[in-house]
């Protein structure tokens, strides 16, 4: 059995049959997250000016309605306090979101409930099924384990 080799996204067999100008302006990234960019550069390069208010406005302007819709579709499930630290339980569909949208969901929850403005200034994210902590959100940063 041979050792696995690195994937090569370079030229293909048909490269020989096309004239060079055929390939001009055909560089594209099919997904926002392409597996080779580090997470911090992915999240910083996509729409730097986005704010939670944009999603709230698009949903009709009621922030609590937006969060309740996320509960309905399984992105979020519930919330509770663990001592003085809020805990947000994420549902199964949270895992189907891109890394960027996971961060935006957490940022919106923070914005709606003003969590980071009060001590301890962060909240945990917990898995709905295993009841284990999967990360935390603080200082406009989502840290997932």
Let me know if residue 3 belongs to a domain.
no
pLDDT > 90: percent of the chain? 57
For the stretch 57-90, pLDDT in tens is 999 999 999 999 999 999 999 999 999 999 999 9
pLDDT greater than 60 at residue 95: yes
Let me know if residue 16 belongs to a domain.
no
For residue 98, give both structure tokens. Answer: 């891109």
CA 134: distance to chain centroid? 13
Range of the structural domain that residue 121 is part of:
56-144
Q: Are 55 and 104 in contact (CB under 8 A)?
A: yes
For the stretch 7-43, pLDDT in tens is 555 555 555 566 667 667 666 555 555 566 555 555 5
pLDDT greater than 70 at residue 126: yes
Let me know if residue 73 belongs to a domain.
yes
Let me know if residue 88 belongs to a domain.
yes
For residue 4, give both structure tokens. Answer: 């696995």
Average pLDDT across the chain, whole number = 82
Q: For position 50, what pLDDT does the model report?
A: 84
Let me know if residue 129 belongs to a domain.
yes
Let me know if residue 30 belongs to a domain.
no
What backbone torsions phi and psi does residue 76 show, to the nearest 5 degrees?
A: -115, 160
Q: For position 115, what pLDDT does the model report?
A: 92
Let me know if residue 84 belongs to a domain.
yes
Let me know if residue 132 belongs to a domain.
yes
Give the C-alpha separation, 59 to 56, whole Å: 5
Give the residue among 63, 138, 125 at the shortest CA–CA distance from 95: 125
The CA-based dihedral angle spanning residues 119, 132, 79, 97, taken in that order and rounded to the nearest 10 degrees: 100
| Number of domains forming the structure of the chain | 1
pTM of the model: 0.69
């Amino acid at each position: 059995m041979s050792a696995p080799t690195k994937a090569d996204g370079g030229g293909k067999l048909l490269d020989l049959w096309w004239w060079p100008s055929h390939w001009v302006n055909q560089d594209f990234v099919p997904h926002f997250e392409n597996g080779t960019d580090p997470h911090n550069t992915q999240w910083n390069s996509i729409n730097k000016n986005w704010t939670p208010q944009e999603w709230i406005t698009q949903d009709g302007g009621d922030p609590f309605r937006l969060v309740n819709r996320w509960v309905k579709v399984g992105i979020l499930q519930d919330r509770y306090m663990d001592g003085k630290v809020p805990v947000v339980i994420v549902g199964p569909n949270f895992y189907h979101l891109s890394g960027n949208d996971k961060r935006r969901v957490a940022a919106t929850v923070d914005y709606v409930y003003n969590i980071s403005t009060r001590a301890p200034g962060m909240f945990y994210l917990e898995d709905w099924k295993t009841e284990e902590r999967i990360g935390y959100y603080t200082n406009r940063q989502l840290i997932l384990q």
